[in-house]
Structure 1
Amino acid sequence: MAVNGERREQDDIRSLVSNYYRSFRSPSFQTVCRYYIPTSGVVSYLALSVNVMNPNWISSAAYKRSTTDFLLFGAIVGSGTYLYNRRVLTQAPTLNRVLYSGVGSVLFSFGSVLAWAIMRTYVSRSNALCTAVGLVLGSFFLGTCGHFLAFVDARTACDNTEDHAE
């Protein structure tokens, strides 16, 4: 009886590990641009939210500015790549796709930094609370923008199938 329970447990662990590795996509230029760079941008964006809301999380003053710049750059590149690969921009000329995704990612990132900086003045001086508020706001911004882009992409797909002879 114990042997069957151990085998089931081992099979469950193998299944869990197998599913975990299947969730990773094989590295190709397309998956790097469509999956890995935007994912690293999300990580940079959330780390940036913590960095802005809780500036004390980096102990050395010498690294504070370079860390913020690095995280901001990662967030801009990640969100720009994500926007560039959205369905709504596929019909645009390449130069316009680059411009639209670049401007959108810069506005999103700097707008978020501004919102976090303003929220920082209204939240108590508790570092833990500031960190939590930063992560919640960052997740909210990411989720809301993701849902908005999915809505726009869905409308774009509908608009492409309809004849707009007005």
Structure 2
Amino acid sequence: MNIFALEIWDDEGKKCTFYTVRWEDGKESETDKFFNKYDAIPELKTATQQMLSFVLDSLGDDHGAIDALFNRPENEVTGLPNTGKVTVKQVMFTYPNFPLRLYALRINNRNDIVVLFNGGVKSSWTNQESKDIHLKWVEACQFAKRIEEALRDGEIIIDEGKRKMRSANNGEEIFL
């Protein structure tokens, strides 16, 4: 796998800090590519805005990355939004036939640090059959494996008090 940066995407939420990945020579993060691409497609604009609200409001501010909202495991990553009807603090989260998937990784299964990757249109029953997202899912799984390996090996350290990650040399820039 080529070199990529692990960088903060949004850290303004009350409950969760979001990271993303960006290829070393890339101008745009994988998460930004996802939101920019699908927000520009008129028939997916509403779904894209719902996904953004789910991430920033429901996960970032209201509930964090709790198990109930991260209930769609897909190998090393989780597909967002959640599957089924989920009620959290009297709010029902249900996304029947939702057209988009965004892939994510909860760091050490914590509720407060998540890496967001890319995703796409879910056009078939499985992501392997969904032409638009299959490669994004494979790529997200590869990113996730490398990030988890770096956490195990001590290349990345979690700053418990700040909901942040940093490189082993105390730098905020993390390249893997």
- Provide TM-score, normalisation by structure 2: 0.28
- Provide TM-score, normalisation by structure 1: 0.29
Structure with larger RCO (C-alpha < 8 A, sep 6+) = 1
